[in-house]
Structure 1
């Protein structure tokens, strides 16, 4: 069974899928309505909204495949669907070399017929597919194919709007409630699915968006309850065409009228954001989407589309523009790092110094959450920071961010909450202290290292003794034989070379987590961390076996410290064994 090829944009596609934050979430009515619609319109027993993850396909909505939430990607039909922009149809999987030996064909659920339309987001990335499946071979007619593609487009739009809804601030919560009410109202449309298919097809494209339909033959307009609500009219209200157009502000009427006329003339739809005056005189902004529905004879039958109140979104953009103007000069010319973000950590503005420090352009950072620039393990700490700054009106500390080139940057910040306006935000000011941190680390390293050999020194040993936890340690004490004679005969430069060589010799024989310590003069100590049974003896055996490679003869003593035994006790015992070994054999200078 040949697995589907990996899309060229796989890394970007998977990142986009993660950003949607939809994987492994509960079932939602809108997505279930789309799959039920697909099953009903095509007459197939199984319909799925499948999202292709790195190694699996996961079902956001599942009709007719009870008890299954995901399958391996290697056997997923939908993994083939996302390789192209068009609908993929398999009339009989048993006759298709790609799927003939697929376990989903040879076993449950016994797939024979498959048709899937890719779920393509606004940026062109394909997340998965809306597909229908049958246990008998078959084929779709052209209307069913077009309907399946439209429903897949609706699923894509719903995924993007779902993510957008999650990122709205508390000020937009009432709109989210209206969206949930609209999703609930979608369930009622199932009873009218066959007679109002076109209406469901358009209104189902956006979560929580009103729908409308204009019959070109009768000039009658049908509004959904949500559309009536946006206009401050009672549910079920049916305006005339002129009345519907008159709700738009005077300067917007020519635009919407021209869009309607052009759609009727050449079939080109529209997607506009326009000012509107409701029946109660409220000035709002709406997003109006429209397209042409054709009859079987190819003539325009109706106009249909979606309708959404985007006033709060427009206000947010206006507030962002005002904030940008207010702080433009400060942001442009400050040598410090300045940014503003909302209460969820979404960046609203960034000054050039901050962007340059991280290697991004300002445009690449604005609109993204700060967690996009952090290691995942730091996300909980960032949520704690947001809670503190909102609760206490300010917060100070350090923040670790990842630059575009992957390097880590440490910012020391002092941020304050500005809640005087309609939309509160956090003003952040910080200094990049990465170099200072690195210098402190370097100074710390220098303080515990022997400058000649690079081994750890007695200060490191003293700190280890002070902080030693319950851990089994191996201690090997090494004393160089007749080292003083080398200094006296060949000079201190030769002595230094011997010490450096001995440090390299010992380091070569231990593990990375172990420590070689120069105790002073010609004495060395090897500390073996987490020394299990026999480890100390094994290391001593290696060193003894390789004595010929050492730059000088040496004597050693070793012991293993059980948990609870102090390091000082272990060192004393290793010293005792060293002197005992020295007393038992003569030493010879090399």
Structure 2
């Protein structure tokens, strides 16, 4: 929309931002629908801290995307460069702004001038990757339209809730991975089965063709030993060569498929 205020300075970008974004995307959570497990936590944050707004916010390349939200209507994302959460992910402790209208970092931002926010408190969501490194993927945050201060118990409550969010993200990630693995296993199995069926079908067809082929070959040999004119002999020869080629192809197919020929019928 509008140009940011010339005096507004966005949060600095983390040093390992590229890797952080790769990790965030690997969680397969951006742009997914609302889930009760997260919504329960944002509702609890509002009632525990008596604030109108609570958000589980994931900090993407240029936007803050809301996995769960209370009090912001239909909004599901905000411009990263204008918001608070870009600052929170640079910390390993809660990031609190008691009155944004008096804070040099935010007083020129649209979130203050247009949206009217005054108070912000966010706890970074640090998720551990498989290699053991922790990445701040976003924050659990609460906001208000009036200035506020949190006491130490309220800060502890927010931290406790943020640990629940982290647990939910990790659980969700494990489930998604498990499901994707399962799908890929089932897919591999289905493909192997299809190959097997295909192989046995080709083997069976090749095997079934051998009998009529040997009849054709025997018939042609019998025909060749009867008086034939030159033209008929040539036709019989061409057919014999074709039958021979076909028989070779069938043998190759049966060998390639390594399908044991059906057991001979008893006497």
Coarse TM-score class (shorter-chain normalised): 0.5 to 0.7
Residue 117 of structure 1 corresponds to which residue in structure 2?
123
Q: Kindly tell me: are residues 345 and 143 of structure 1, through their superposed partners in 2, closer, same or farther at Cα, counting changes over 3 Å?
A: same
Aligned partner of residue 93 in structure 2, secondary structure: coil
Of the three residues 146, 157, 169, the one matched with 1:159 is 169
How far apart, in 2, do the equivalents of 1:142 and 1:118 lie?
17
Residue 150 of structure 1 corresponds to which residue in structure 2?
160
Q: Are 1:94 and 2:122 an aligned pair?
A: no
Of the three residues 54, 73, 76, the one matched with 2:61 is 54
Contact 1:388 1:395 in 2 (8 A): no
Offset, 1:157: 1.4
Q: Kindly tell me: are residues 159 and 343 of structure 1, through their superposed partners in 2, closer, same or farther at Cα, counting changes over 3 Å?
A: closer
- CA deviation string 1:203-237 (max 9, x = no partner): xxxxxxxxxxxxxxxxxxxxxxxxxxxxxxxxxxx
Residue 138 of structure 1 corresponds to which residue in structure 2?
148
- CA deviation string 1:445-496 (max 9, x = no partner): xxxxxxxxxxxxxxxxxxxxxxxxxxxxxxxxxxxxxxxxxxxxxxxxxxxx
How far apart, in 1, do the equivalents of 2:153 and 2:188 lie?
56
How far apart, in 2, do the equivalents of 1:37 and 1:61 lie?
12
Aligned partner of residue 168 in structure 1, secondary structure: helix
Q: Kindly tell me: are residues 142 and 395 of structure 1, through their superposed partners in 2, closer, same or farther at Cα, counting changes over 3 Å?
A: farther
**What is the RMSD computed on CA atoms of the aligned residues?**
2.0
Aligned partner of residue 125 in structure 2, secondary structure: strand
Contact 1:113 1:135 in 2 (8 A): yes
Q: How does 1:35-114 map to 2 (within 5 A)?
A: 35-108=42-115, 110-114=116-120
Offset, 1:81: 0.4
How far apart, in 2, do the equivalents of 1:167 and 1:142 lie?
37
Residue 27 of structure 1 corresponds to which residue in structure 2?
34
Specify which structure has the higher proportion of helix. Answer: 2
How far apart, in 2, do the equivalents of 1:21 and 1:169 lie?
12
Aligned length: 185
How far apart, in 1, do the equivalents of 2:38 and 2:192 lie?
40
List alignment gaps of at least 5 residues for structure 1: 171-341, 347-385, 397-590
How far apart, in 2, do the equivalents of 1:169 and 1:111 lie?
40
How far apart, in 1, do the equivalents of 2:179 and 2:52 lie?
40
Offset, 1:387: 3.5
Contact 1:343 1:390 in 2 (8 A): no
Q: Kindly tell me: are residues 89 and 144 of structure 1, through their superposed partners in 2, closer, same or farther at Cα, counting changes over 3 Å?
A: same
Aligned partner of residue 171 in structure 2, secondary structure: helix
How far apart, in 1, do the equivalents of 2:108 and 2:187 lie?
54
How far apart, in 1, do the equivalents of 2:101 and 2:33 lie?
33
Aligned partner of residue 84 in structure 1, secondary structure: coil
List alignment gaps of at least 5 residues for structure 2: 1-7, 197-267
Q: Are 1:5 and 2:15 an aligned pair?
A: no
Offset, 1:116: 0.5
Aligned partner of residue 139 in structure 2, secondary structure: strand
Offset, 1:47: 0.4
Specify which structure has the higher proportion of strand. Answer: 1
Offset, 1:138: 0.7
Offset, 1:107: 0.5
- CA deviation string 1:408-431 (max 9, x = no partner): xxxxxxxxxxxxxxxxxxxxxxxx
Return the structure number with greater relative CO, CA threshold 8 A, min gap 6: 2
Offset, 1:395: 5.1
Residue 576 of structure 1 corresponds to which residue in structure 2?
none
Q: TM-score, normalised by structure 2?
A: 0.65
How far apart, in 1, do the equivalents of 2:84 and 2:52 lie?
17
